[in-house]
Amino acid sequence: MRCDFLTKKENTTEEFENENLEVEENANLDETLEEAEVSEDKEFEEVLSIEEILKEKNSKLSDENTKLNNEIEALKDRLLRITAEYENFRKRTQKEKEGIYTDATTDVIKEILPVLDNLERALAVDGSIEDLKKGIEMTQRGFNGALEKLGVEEIDSSGDFDPNLHQAVMHEQNEDFGPNKIAEVFLKGYKKADKVIRYSMVKVVN
């Protein structure tokens, strides 16, 4: 009887210990599950936080992209307008340039036409050599007057040789002249203000 009681008691103790062990294991399991759930919640929160950050960054990038696209379109429009304005300016300048040239040419021709008229009248009139010479002299004076009105003047070729005004086509030694002097003019030169229209063709000595 005692042995049975002891055996039974031992069995009961063992069962109790097993039950305690099972309870502890279940408790540990529950605790592990809770920790896992907490960890999952934290990971989920972190994922949500990252997602929010990415959404915010994506929104900022989208706004910046929209802003840049607007700036690009504005620059394109400005470039097109500037190109059109430049093309209009170029055409207008070309037209004005052609107009200035035409006006200048017209002014010159107006001053020269009377000279041509005198030459035609001289050719149409019968007369002596003296009369013809007189007519040519009058025409020459008229032509010089026309040049004067246009601001054109004859280049002085009576002194020293100046390469800025004269073109030497001959050179010789002559004791009657000083060094670098103009001895003879083959073709008169003309200038308007500081611009040479035609260089004087001269012979230079010494």
Share of the chain above pLDDT 90, in %: 46
Model pLDDT, residue 30? 61
Task: Tell me which residue has tokens 């008169």.
Answer: 188
Handedness of CA 120, 124, 130, 131 (dihedral sign): negative
Band (pLDDT 50/70/90 cuts) for residue 92 is very high
Model pLDDT, residue 2? 44
**Main-chain dihedrals φ then ψ at residue 173, nearest 5 degrees:** -95, 135
- Please give the helix or strand (H or E) that residue 160 lies within, else none: none
Write the pLDDT tens digit of every residue in 5-34. 445 445 556 665 666 566 566 666 666 767
If you average pLDDT over every residue of the chain, what do you get? 84
Give domain limits for the chain: 42-150, 153-206
- When pLDDT is averaged across residues 36-48 and rounded to a whole number, the result is 72
Comparing 69 with 132, the larger pLDDT belongs to 69
Going by CATH, does the domain composed of 153-206 fall within 2.30.22.10? yes
User: In angstroms, rounded to a whole number, what is the distance separating the alpha carbons of residues 112 and 152?
Assistant: 13
C-alpha triplet 30, 33, 34: angle, nearest 5°? 85
Write the pLDDT tens digit of every residue in 97-128. 999 999 988 989 998 998 888 888 887 877 78
Model pLDDT, residue 3? 46
- Residue 111: name the closest of 159, 138, 82, 144 by CA: 144
Write the pLDDT tens digit of every residue in 159-171. 899 999 999 999 9
- When pLDDT is averaged across residues 198-202 and rounded to a whole number, the result is 97
Model pLDDT, residue 130? 85
The predicted model scores a pTM of 0.55
Model pLDDT, residue 109? 92
Pair of tokens at residue 105: 């040419």
Band (pLDDT 50/70/90 cuts) for residue 148 is very high
